[in-house]
Amino acid sequence: MANVVVVGSQWGDEGKGKIVDWLSDRADVVVRFQGGHNAGHTLVIDGKVYKLSLLPSGLVRGKLSVIGNGVVVDPHHFVEEVAKLKGQGVNITPDVLQIAENATLILSLHKELDAFREGSNSGLLIGTTKRGIGPAYEDKVGRRAIRVMDLAQKDTLQPKIDRLLSHHNALRRGLGLSEIDGKAIFDELMQVADDILPYMGQVWRTLDEKRRKGQRILFEGAQGVLLDNDHGTYPFVTSSNTVAGQAATGSGMGPGAIDYVLGITKAYTTRVGEGPFPTEQDNEIGQFLGEKGHEFGVVTGRKRRCGWFDATLVRQMVVTSGINGIALTKLDVLDGMKEIKIGVGYELDGKKIDYLPASMGAQKRVKPIYETLEGWSGTTAGARSWADLPAEAVKYVRHIEELIGVPVAMLSTSPEREDTILVTDPFQD
């Protein structure tokens, strides 16, 4: 049986929650492999709404859920989210939830630094969620991070905090911020250590055991691949790798564990925060898409920027993330539009190109080249077979397949999990 990686093929917010939930019902293990609590999933199960931002969505289905080493974990948020889900009747024990012992922790100083940078009038504004994700990853790469396993070693934790603060207090002095007392950070961690440590484990070993038993593993990505630190619209990206290859690195499994990559793809394009967006429609079309698609962030409530589908971007992400098929979402938002445009290329300084340049300046200068398709007056909402779709909607979907170079494996026609047209089962591919 195949192991499946789910990634967003655009800038995130593609509707991964529903698809991941649909797949997690068929999986044995669900793994988060990057990011933090800055990206949210909304699940609607039997009319009940669950909002997750750190915990793997498989928990709601009672599946073994794993937070891999590639994730940065806010320990206080972890405790709060567990308590919230328990309050909704979800059974959460160390038998169904495990955190990698070598996952990096997000501290209060990370959140404070993140908020200071975003609120500053100097420097480049990225549009982060101010949850400390970036600064925590910086400390991880700088080899000074506090990790989950450190909570179990109280006698050596304080020296590690002091080493971390030798960097942060120097930085804070330069920014005009007051220095931090190491004892305060120690006490901050001790408040939640006993709540977290029962869930700590050797994730790489657990996943290897499950794989050897032939169990299905679902790797759940956060955000979208266009926010990848290497392959996205740098520097307007997140601080981790969001492409499918990170599923192996961020969980402790080799690349051979990945059998199928499913790219969740919205039928139009949205983006939160700063950065280039070639097909953005800052007009009545963008407003229509935003209002009909309820385009507000799960975690932050921020309004999303909206625009036409950009086939050039998705095709490029298909290559860099090794996407085998896509799950197309929110097709119903386009219902009733007389005509629909698709970005099929760019013009850069008078020349036509078929890719998004890596340069920040060039990304800002590209102008989209559009094809215009006929819209449809019928509805796609709730469709569960191709026969239920208007002919023009089918034509739109087929043209997207041609432009991005991979097939539509699943088609989502509403937030309800049953309203899904399955073409290819990723677990059986």
- The single residue listed with the structure tokens 């917010």 is 13
- How crowded is residue 141: how many other Cβ atoms within 10 Å of its Cβ? 10
Q: Has 294 been annotated as catalytic?
A: no
- Catalytic residue, chosen from 13, 28, 114, 419, is 13
In which element (H, E) is residue 78 found?
helix 75-87
- Residue 264, classified by CB atoms within 10 Å of its CB into exposed (0-12), middle (13-18) or buried (19+), is buried
Amino acid, single-letter form, for residue 418? E
Q: Has 41 been annotated as catalytic?
A: yes
Asked whether 392 and 374 are in contact (CB, 8 A), the reply is yes
Q: Which residues contact 50 (CB under 8 A, 6 or more apart)?
A: 42, 43, 44, 57, 60, 85, 88, 90
Indicate the angle between helix axes 182-196 and 108-119, nearest 10 degrees. Answer: 120
Asked whether 44 and 18 are in contact (CB, 8 A), the reply is yes
- How crowded is residue 64: how many other Cβ atoms within 10 Å of its Cβ? 21
What ranges make up the beta strands (E) of 41-137? 41-45, 48-52, 64-67, 72-73, 97-100, 104-105
Going by C-alpha positions, the residue among 277, 248, 245 that lies closest to residue 12 is 277
Alpha-carbon dihedral sign for residues 230, 231, 235, 241: negative
Q: Is 45 helix (H, G, I), strand (E, B) or coil?
A: strand
Torsion angle of C-alpha atoms 8, 11, 15, 20, degrees rounded to 10: 30
Going by C-alpha positions, the residue among 258, 171, 202 that lies closest to residue 68 is 202
Indicate the angle between helix axes 182-196 and 154-175, nearest 10 degrees. Answer: 130
Gyration radius (Cα) of the chain, Å: 22
- Catalytic residue, chosen from 37, 41, 76, 77, is 41
List the structure tokens of 64: 């073994």
- Residue 120, classified by CB atoms within 10 Å of its CB into exposed (0-12), middle (13-18) or buried (19+), is exposed
Q: Please give the positions annotated as active site.
A: 13, 41
